[in-house]
Amino acid sequence: MSMKKFALKLTVAAVALIGLQTSSYAVDSVSVEAGAGSKVQMLRLGAQWDWKNTAWWQSNGTHIGGYWDLTVAEWHEKRYNNTDSSKNFTDIGFTPVFRFQRDDKKGFYGEAGIGVHLFSSLYNNDTKKLSTAFQFGDHLGTGYVFANGLDVGLKLQHFSNGGIKQPNGGVNFAVLKAAYKF
């Protein structure tokens, strides 16, 4: 996929997200993420909606809350079909994320999420293959939210089809995230 097609997809996604800007469905934050795994890279844009009025196990100024995370990503396989050629494809994901955080939602946090992803083509990179376009994506992460709303985080993410169909080699990423909360 060319960079022009990727830019067009991102523009369409951004326009769609802006269209959701009503008072009850307004996006609470936006993010950009870059990830790398074994012979694969990913660039992802996302929009997040906080779980309003959710504060489980509130104690000592902290609680467990969360958010919905809607993302679009472009993956770059460097060893497509176990050859020296490369291939790009698009991933659309939706993940509920649980976050342990301070009550004011600033400072350090830890988070975990398991969501669903749909790939535009099958992953076949190096010796790893995923035999379905539908994938589960789970992650564990940590980060820091500054007073101005800037959120910087690091997470480990795993993609797998959960054994729905073989082969299911799984793909792992280290992901750096930057988000801005409105």
Q: Which pLDDT tens digit goes with each residue over 32-74? A: 999 999 999 999 999 999 998 888 999 999 999 999 999 999 9
* Structural contact between residues 53 and 89, judged by C-beta atoms closer than 8 angstroms: no
Q: Regarding predicted confidence, which is higher, 50 or 24?
A: 50
H or E element: which one contains 18? helix 3-19
**Torsion angle in degrees (nearest 10) through CA of 73, 40, 117, 145:** -60
On average, the pLDDT of the chain sits at 89
Which is nearest to 46 in space by CA: 117, 121, 131? 117
pLDDT-derived band at 79 (thresholds 50, 70, 90) equals confident
Given a cut of 80, whether residue 122 has pLDDT beyond it is: yes
CB-CB contact of 81 with 124 (8 Å): yes
pLDDT at residue 21 greater than cutoff 60: no
- Say if residue 110's pLDDT is above 90: yes
The two most distant CA atoms of the chain are separated, in Å, by: 54
Section 100-125 average pLDDT: 95
- What is the rounded CA–CA span in Å between residue 142 and residue 156? 9
The larger pLDDT score, comparing residue 86 to residue 69, is at 69
Nearest to 182 by CA among 4, 51, 47, 87: 47
- d(Cα 105, Cα 117) in Å, to the nearest integer? 27
Distance CA 151, CA 57 (A): 23
Pairing verdict, β 62-77 and 56-59: antiparallel
Residue 4 to residue 111: CA distance in whole angstroms = 34
pLDDT in tens, 134-176: 999 999 999 999 999 999 999 999 999 999 999 898 999 999 9
pTM: 0.84
**SS3 state of residue 157:** strand
Decide: 139 and 149 in contact? Cβ < 8 Å.
Answer: no
Alpha carbon 126 to chain centroid, angstroms: 23
Between the ranges 4-8, 15-19, 44-48, 119-123, where is the mean pLDDT highest? 44-48
